[in-house]
Amino acid sequence: MKKVFVVAMVICSAGLAGAQETQKVLRLDDALRIALEQNTSVRIAENNVESAGNSVTSAYGAYIPQLYAGASFNRSGVSSPPTIQSIGGIPFQTPRTETYYNTYRTGFGLTYTVFDGFNREASLSSALTTEDQAVFQYHRTRQQTAFLVQSAYLNVLRNEQLVKVAEENLKRDRRQLERITESNKVGAASLADVYRQQSVVANDEVNLIGAQNTYDKSKADLLNLLALDPNSDYVIADPSIDEQIKQQSTGYEALLPFEELTRRALESRPDYKSTMAGIDLADNGITRAWSFYYPTMSVSGGFSTNAQAFVPATSWGNRASNVGLTLSWQLPEIFGSLTRIQNAYISRRNADLQLEQKTRDVRVEVKKAVLDLEAARKQLEATQKSLISAEQDRRVAEERYNLGAGTLLDLYIANANYVNAQASNVNANYNFIIANRNLEFVVGDRGY
């Protein structure tokens, strides 16, 4: 019998070990690394940077001379009909004659645009600025993705704690149901109290099912954000978060002044820098609009050969070379050019307005993030005090009921207040962490 028991224990232990091996512990740093590598938005932003770089390469191509080279062969023939000639009064007919001519031509040359009204320079500058904007957007997308991952990760941990609160409450009410049932058997509690407690336990079970479902869905949302299979078996756990929650109960770091936070945001945020780059784009648009009023100057040169027979190039008879300078100016279409110039200046004014609005947006976002963090701090302090008070009230109500000095209703109310205080404290702890991360995201001075 003992051997059978030992074998069963070994099999159970092996099964548990195998189950733990299949589960992967996903820490917050791991989640951030996976998201920044696999998240769809990050990868699209990275592709946009590559596309913008290709446009820069194309813009540089305008500075390369246009080279052309060619070779041709042409064969033509002349056919003469028979003719009749008279020699000494005697007519003779000459045969038909056919003559063929071959022509071999080769040539190469190049053309280089020296000046085109600064259109080429403006196009290159626009391409470089667009690439900078793509890079700024890429970095901001990484920051945004990191914040979303942190929020989703913390939300999973929050829901996990709420599941534990619901489980503890269910266990506590089940123990209370057992005590009331035993008391009813000896006549110390009414049957109505038993029924009421059974109803409470059933309600606790429903709440636990809801909490577990919320946790599972938040975990699936996190895995989806990481571009992982939502059905994968991951353990979401990070000791550093627990340590941060413990530090929150001892004190808080003082915030920098609002103007200092705003200054850092305006200096650091990639999306703000991208908006500033929009002004350069608008200036380049003005330059390109005016370029139609300038002349175009180009230089060219070439070399060609022409021969009647295919012989080595050194012996080809006809050779030609040319060098030229071309200066051209075409009177632009008046209304079309004026419209382009006017629209370019309008785009410049709009870029200024967008930068002003972006500045206001950044200041508002920083202000709201500071207010949210301060509110989260006060809520955390309040829930910590409320939790201590609710725990004491529940303990007193339970002791009074067990001694017969209190009613079951008083115990219900005290227990409900305690559960609510626990949930509020869990939410306040994680809200405070998320508010901190939100302020970090709004300031935007941390790279990922």
For residue range 370-406, what is the model confidence (pLDDT) as tens digits? Answer: 999 999 999 999 999 999 999 999 899 888 888 878 8
Mean pLDDT over 107-121 rounds to 89
Query: Taking residues 70-88, what's their average pLDDT?
Result: 73
Domain 27-64+116-294+331-443 in CATH 3.40.50.720: no
CB atoms within 10 A of CB 316: 17
Distance CA 82, CA 96 (A): 4
Per-residue burial over 237-260, b if 16 or more Cβ lie within 10 Å, else e, is ebeebeeebeebeeeeeeeeeeee
- What average pLDDT does the segment 226-255 reach? 82
Q: Taking residues 287-299, report their average pLDDT.
A: 90
Helix (H) and strand (E) counts in the chain: 10, 8
Q: What is the pLDDT of residue 442?
A: 96
- Over residues 118-129, the pLDDT tens digits come to 999 999 999 999
What tokens appear for 72 in the block?
A: 């041709």
Give the predicted TM-score (pTM) of the model.
Answer: 0.81
Which tens digits make up the pLDDT trace of 320-355?
A: 888 989 888 887 777 778 899 999 999 999 999 999
Q: Per the structure block, which two tokens stand in for 70?
A: 């060619």
> Is pLDDT above 80 for 63?
yes
